[in-house]
Amino acid sequence: MLVPERRTRADIISAVAIAVLVVVAGVVVWARSDAKSTESVTAEHPLSTPSAADQVPANLLELWHAPDPASNRALVAAGSVVTGDGGTVTGHDPRTGADLWHYRRDLPLCGVESQFGTVVAAYKDQRGCSQATLLAGEDGSRRTARSSYMDPTVQLSVDGTYVLAQGPRRLEMWRSDLVRTLEYGYVDAPVNVKTQPRKGCKLLSSSSSSTRLAVLERCPEDTTDRLTVLNPAPKDNTVPEEYGSRVLTGPGADSPDARVIAVSDNRIVLYLPGVAGTEATSPRLEVYDGSGNALVVHQLSAPLSDRTTTTRISSLLLVFTGNSLIALNASTFDPIWAAPAALGSPAFMAGRLLMPVDGAIAVLDPTSGAELSRIPVARPGYDGSPISLAVLGTTVLEKRGTEMFALG
């Protein structure tokens, strides 16, 4: 029979030393981790989405306001009004403005978007706007996160299926769980460089649908801008699948102000500014098919502003031009009507369109664009920045410049 092993003094000292090293290593890892620099406060009770309003209000007064420089439009998710400021994303009570939940990091926000009752927040670190977090709109809880190389600045947008994050050199498409479905443009992994169809292109503008991604880019070998149509979710997310790519022709095809206005499953509409002072080369909307082939041109009476935004509401695509609202058929992109004197993008409430105008919100018939009434709105200190509207229950949200205002 073997003699039982005995613990010696050296064994005990070694065990203690190992335990100390493990504790020290754990402390170091924690001190350098994202968790240490993150504060997540969730709502005590999940917020339900309030019932839609059954009528448009006759009067609106300011209920509260909060800073919101990180988002491009007025955002709501589940029952929360969402704002982004500094490194903090906050879910507010729509009636009182109280902070119901917040998610804070010691990194600056690159952008905030919302879709399907969730919130996507992109943060900037040494690899660009590379850290994205998905939060639940009803309570602010963290659902998932992703990290990858990105540009120092990105524009976030949503299409009802995917999230699009576009920078000047690179873009990515993400699923609703932030899993990447496509990378396009600059690739930092040397093994993947040859998977991209072109190198050194500047990404000017992009937009997506569930089946198409349209990118307007300027490449070194091209004399004008190029329209590239891609599969937003190819078999291999590192290998883009093109439906078509063509160098644009005509006046304004070399302009940095050209942009993708919108994308459907089988149509793409671009804005080309033309050449000022020449009627034959006036600014225009050009419609292409799902492979990038030109279909039809719609002349515009004036150029679009650099503040132009696009909003999809039901069967309408509503383009804020900088001083008016143009309604396009969301399938064909044919113009339907135009409404003058707009200050920003619209929202839908009780079967009507709400459009911000000077000193009020105009109530429009969505079929004809006819103005039905006006709701007076006081905007003290308003600086003329584009206004983005949203509606949550009976509360109307106005994002004016870098602040969110709740009206009720």
What domains does the chain contain, in order, with CATH numbers? Answer: 37-407 (2.130.10.10)
Local confidence band at 189 (pLDDT 50, 70, 90 cut-offs): confident
> Where would I find the beta strands (DSSP E) of 235-291?
242-247, 259-263, 267-272, 284-289
| pLDDT at residue 277 in the model | 57
Reported as a single tens digit per residue, the pLDDT across 296-311 is 999 998 899 999 999 9
d(CA 271, CA 225): 12
Mean pLDDT across 192-204 = 88
**Per-residue confidence (pLDDT) for residue 276, from 0 to 100:** 63
Token couple for 247: 């160098």
Closest CA to 99 of 142, 143, 66: 66
CB 289 within 8 A of CB 240: no
Q: Span 266-288, mean pLDDT?
A: 84
pLDDT of residue 25: 47
| Pairwise pLDDT comparison (24 vs 220), residue with the higher score | 220
221-248 per-position pLDDT tens digit? 999 999 999 999 999 999 999 999 999 9
Which pLDDT value is given to residue 32? 53
Confidence tier at 31 by pLDDT (50, 70, 90): very low
Return the structure tokens found at 5.
């092993």
pLDDT, mean of residues 354-376: 98
Mean pLDDT computed over every residue of the chain? 92
Q: What one-character DSSP code corresponds to residue 138?
A: T
Global pTM value: 0.89
The stretch 126-138 carries a mean pLDDT of 97
pLDDT score recorded for residue 28: 42
Residues of the chain with pLDDT > 90, as a percent, come to: 84
**What are 92's strand-pairing partners?**
81, 99
State yes or no: pLDDT of 163 exceeds 70. Answer: yes
Query: Strand runs (DSSP E) across 273-358, as ranges?
Result: 284-289, 294-299, 309-313, 316-320, 324-329, 335-340, 344-345, 347-349, 352-357
Extract the runs of DSSP E, i.e. beta strands, from 210-293: 213-218, 226-230, 242-247, 259-263, 267-272, 284-289
Q: What pLDDT shows up at residue 274?
A: 77
Residue 23, pLDDT above cutoff 60: no
Choice among 178-192, 294-308, 331-345 with the minimum mean pLDDT: 178-192
What lies within 8 Å, CB to CB, of 295 at 6+ separation is 267, 287, 288, 289
DSSP helix/strand/coil, 262? strand
Rounded mean pLDDT, 165-192: 92
Residue 80's pLDDT band, with cuts at 50, 70 and 90, is very high
- Per-residue confidence at 30, pLDDT binned at 50, 70, 90? very low
Q: Which amino acid belongs to residue 310?
A: T
* CA within 13 Å, CB half, 41: 10
Give 182's Cβ-side CA count (13 Å radius).
28
Q: In the structure, what pLDDT confidence band is assigned to residue 367 with cuts at 50, 70 and 90? A: very high
Q: What's the average model confidence in pLDDT over 70-99?
A: 97
Cβ contact 323:342 at 8 Å: yes
Contact 363, 354 (CB under 8 A): yes
Tokens read off for 331: 């399938």
CA angle 114, 173, 148 (to 5 degrees): 95
Q: Residue 213: pLDDT above 90?
A: yes
Average pLDDT over residues 207-231: 97
pLDDT above 80 for 114:
yes
Percent of the chain with pLDDT over 70: 89
In the predicted model, is pLDDT for residue 27 greater than 50? no
pLDDT for position 11: 58
Confidence bin at 21 (pLDDT 50/70/90): low
